[in-house]
Amino acid sequence: MGWLETVVSMTIKGGIFMIPLFVVAIVSMILLIERMLYLRDNRIDSDQFHFDLKTALKDNALDQAIALSARTKGVIGRVIQEGLLRVKAGETDIEAATEKAILAEMISMEKSRGWIINMSQIAPLLGILGTVWGLIVAFMAIERTASTDPRLLASGIYQALVTTAAGLFVAIPVQTVWFWFRSRIDRFVLAAEDLYEEASRRLGRAA
């Protein structure tokens, strides 16, 4: 029996609880792929952008810096542009402008956060529910037959172990990928804050 046949056999043996686990796995995969594509679309060379921003602000060329930010794709470009536009509009607290811009982008970056976390928590719970149900079925079979045949118990335990394994198989990768994605968000935020500190220093010196 090949590995594919083994997986199919175990999935069938897992019973009805494998259906919601399969749905959770599909939804989790869609959400994570969407977030990965989002990260890819927002990836830039932050070092190069940092250099270009310093060059644009060298002579207090605020309009040039805003134009550079508008041409830069992704989260960092949008954050810097929004903050510089607020400064141009007359806001003197650059730090507050930074926080407002970053907060708006973080809401967008963490759009699917609740769903992803829920999926990673629901999967093992469904696995545990399948485990409990499998044990109930096994002991009911023993009670009905008044037999000590271990094969009656084995079927229920088999189902219990399959659903537990399936729940963990879904939850562990989802949690792992989400933690990685969260670290990428933190990197975006730190990069944006560093760039703003540079812009603040240069604009302050020019003032």
Q: What is the DSSP letter of 143?
A: H
Residue pair 165/6 in contact (Cβ under 8 Å)? The answer is no
Which residues are within 8 A (CB) of 58 and not within 5 positions of it... i.e. 6 or more apart? 202
- pLDDT tens digit sequence for 20-47: 888 999 999 998 888 888 777 777 666 6
Give the residue, 27 or 181, on which the prediction is more confident.
Answer: 27
Q: What is the mean pLDDT of residues 159-173?
A: 86
Residue pair 106/82 in contact (Cβ under 8 Å)? The answer is no
Checking if the pLDDT of 204 tops 60, the result is no
- pLDDT tens digit sequence for 102-153: 777 777 777 778 888 889 889 999 888 888 888 887 777 777 776 666 776 7
Distance CA(62)–CA(71), nearest Å, equals 14
Q: What is the DSSP letter of 72?
A: S
Distance CA(173)–CA(169), nearest Å, equals 7
Give the residue, 66 or 152, on which the prediction is more confident.
Answer: 66
Distance CA(38)–CA(103), nearest Å, equals 17
Distance CA(167)–CA(133), nearest Å, equals 14
Give the residue, 121 or 79, on which the prediction is more confident.
Answer: 121
Q: Whole-number mean pLDDT of the chain?
A: 76
Residue pair 178/32 in contact (Cβ under 8 Å)? The answer is yes
pTM flag (> 0.95): no
Distance CA(24)–CA(119), nearest Å, equals 6
Q: What is the mean pLDDT of residues 166-181?
A: 88
